[in-house]
Amino acid sequence: MDKDNANPTVLNTSQLPTRQLKKHRAPKPSNSQFRSVIRKPRYLCDPFYDISWSDDTESDDEFTAEPIDEQEIYDLISTISDPEHPLSLGQLAVVNLPDIHIAPSSLDGADPNRLTRVLVEITPTITHCSLATVIGLGVRVRLEQALPPNYRVDVMIKEGSHSQDDQVNKQLADKERVAAALENDTLKGVLDKMLETCT
């Protein structure tokens, strides 16, 4: 099978957006610093113990869930394999961080019952890519599997990046077509192969 784009532009993994910071060695804590991080034993939290711990600053806030942002969405989909090339959608710049939109912003508040829309605009490697719909479907499946149920996922071709973007967008937005496509064993096999590289 001939590839639509035999020589795509490929980004080095160091060029991909990431939240990870460079690791550096932390200084050893002094005795006073060490004492400040010691926590009271769990058995002392029992209601039968009436002990006051004035230096206890432990808070439940450290365990609250952080809201999902554009970087996290990007991290979920950038590792999807391209169906034609042995590269990821992030490396081929098919998915880009500026083309991911969350509305309303999950940073406005973390209400787990509020409907949140995630829009991902994909950019095919060439304007006549025959697999644009399959790629969009792969992105949609990955996000629907990974995100909480209050997230609505929309995937579109970025305007002007494909010769038939209206037709592809119509297919990707049609829930019945998407459901029917996911029941096709051949297509399901292609999607499973694309998603194998996702962690």
Cα 7 from Cα 126, distance rounded (Å): 10
pLDDT tens track, the chain, 199 positions? 455 566 667 777 776 777 754 444 444 445 554 444 455 555 555 555 455 544 544 445 555 567 889 999 999 999 999 999 889 999 999 999 999 999 975 555 556 678 899 999 999 999 999 999 999 999 999 999 999 999 999 999 999 999 999 999 999 999 999 999 899 999 999 999 999 998 7
Decide: pTM greater than 0.75.
no
For the chain, domains (ranges, CATH) are: 31-63 (no CATH), 65-195 (3.30.300.130)
Q: In the sheet that 151-157 helps form, which strands lie side by side, from edge to edge?
A: 100-103, 116-122, 151-157
Cα 55 from Cα 114, distance rounded (Å): 37
Cα 80 from Cα 193, distance rounded (Å): 9
CB atoms under 10 Å from CB of 183, counted, come to 8
Residue whose structure tokens are 């912003």: 105
- Tell me the chain's radius of gyration from C-alpha atoms: 23
Q: Helices 175-182 and 132-146, interaxial angle, to 10°?
A: 90
